A and B are shown apart, each in its own frame.
Chain A
Amino acid sequence: MKFKISRQHLYLLFLSLFFFIVVIFFAFFALIPEGKNYRANKLALRVEKIQKQKYQNFYDEVYKKLKQLQSDNRRIIVAFDTKFSVKKFKKNYQSYFHTLSIKPYKKVKKYNDFTLYEVNATSHISTPKTFYKFLDALNKSDWIVEVNFPIEFKKEDEYIRSSFTMKVYHRKRVKETTPLKQN
C-alpha cells in the first residue's frame, strides 16, 4: 500500500505541527507556572485577609474598651488636661472662705507622666466644717488637686486662719497620639 500525500498537505502538516509545539511550550512554560502563581497569590491574599480580620476584630474590641473608659472617666481625663488657673480657682472656691489668697503656683517636679504644681493657699474660715466642705468640693473640681501637709489652723479674732499646700496634677503631653480611626 502506497501512502501518497501532496506537497501542499505536507506543508500544512508541518505548519500544524509547529503551531502545536508552540501551544505545548506556551502552556507548559508560561501558562501553567502563571496558573500556579495565581493559586499561590490567591491563597496568600486570603490568609492576609483573615489575618487582617483578626486584627480588625481586636482593634474594634480595644477601641470599644478605650471609648468606654474615656466615657466612664471623662471628668478625670478633662481635669488632668485642664491647666490650673488661680483666677478660676478663686472664683470657684471663694464662697467657702471669708478670704482666700493663692500664691502664684510653681512647677515642682515630674510625677510619672504628670507635671506637678505646688500651690500655697491662705484663707480665713468661720468654722472647720467649711474646710471639710471645701475638701469635699475639691474632689469634684476642674483639676486634680491634693491638699497636702503642712496644714495650719490658727485662731485670728473670730475667724480661723488656715494655710495649706495643694498639689495640682497636670497631664504631660509629650506628643499627641496618632489619630484613631474607626474602620
Chain B
Amino acid sequence: MRYSYIRPREKTIVTSEFKLVTSFFSVTFFMLFTTYGFLLYKNYSFIKNKKEVVYEIIDLNQSIFSMRNEIAFIENEKELATSIFTHNSVLKESIANLFDLVPEQITLSKATLLKNGLILQGITPNRDVYNFMLQAPLRSIFAQTYSSFYPASNGWLFFVSKNYVDSNETLIINKEE
C-alpha cells in the first residue's frame, strides 16, 4: 500500500556540492604541490649549478695563477737569454778590439782575457814600439798595467803585459756578479 505519490530521493554522501568542493580543492592542492615541487627542484638545481660555477671559478683561478707564473718565467728566460746574447756579442767586440789594438810591428804569442784583466805575451822590435803603440792604448783602458821584458835570440824583446781594471769593474758586463 502506497502512502505517497512521490518516489523517495536516494541519499548519498557524494552530492553535487560535495563534488564541487572536492574538485575545487583537488585542483588547488594539485597546483600548490606542483608549484612547491617546481620550487624545490629549481632550488636544488640552482644550488647545484652554483657549486659547479664556484668550482669552475676555482679552476679558472688556478689556471690563471699557473699561467701568470709561466708568463713570469718566460719573461725571466727572455731577459736572461737577451743578457747572455748581449754578453756574447760584447765579448766578440772586446776580442776584436783587443786584436785591433795590437800594431803590426808587434806579434802576439799568447793573449788571456780574464774577468778583470788582460795578459798579453809577444815579441816587439824594441821597447819604444811597445810603449807608444801598445802600452799607451792599454793604459787608457786599464787601471793597472805591468810590463816586463826579456831579450829574444834575434835581438827583439819578448814582453809580458799584465793589465787589470779596478776591482769593482769587469772587462765586460757580467750579470752574475
Residue numbers of A with Cβ under 8 A of B are 8-9, 12, 15-16, 19, 23, 26-27, 30-31, 34-35, 37-38, 41-42, 44-45, 48-49, 51-52, 55-56, 58-59, 62-63, 65-66, 69-70, 73, 76-77, 79-80, 111-114, 128, 131-132, 135-136, 138-139, 144-147, 149-155, 169, 171, 177-178, 180-181, 183
Check A180 against B88 for contact (C-beta < 8 Å).
no
**Given A52-B60, A135-B91, A34 contacting B80 (CB threshold 8 A):** no
**Given A9-B17, A12-B17, A52-B57, A144 contacting B80 (CB threshold 8 A):** yes
Q: Say if the beta carbon of B42 comes within 8 Å of chain A.
A: yes
Residues of B within 8 A of A34 (CB): 36, 39-40, 43
* B48–chain A nearest beta-carbon distance, Å: 10
Check B60 against A59 for contact (C-beta < 8 Å).
yes
Question: In which size bucket is the chain B interface?
Answer: 35 or more
Q: A169 vs B76: C-alpha distance in the bound complex, in angstroms? A: 13
Residues of B within 8 A of A49 (CB): 53
* B36–chain A nearest beta-carbon distance, Å: 6
Check A51 against B57 for contact (C-beta < 8 Å).
yes
Residue numbers of B with Cβ under 8 A of A are 15, 17-18, 21, 25, 28-29, 32, 35-36, 39-40, 42-43, 46-47, 49-50, 53-54, 56-57, 60-64, 66-71, 73-78, 80-81, 84-85, 87-89, 91-92, 95-96, 99, 108-115, 171, 174, 176
* A172–chain B nearest beta-carbon distance, Å: 11
Q: A128 vs B92: C-alpha distance in the bound complex, in angstroms? A: 10
Residues of A within 8 A of B115 (CB): 149-150
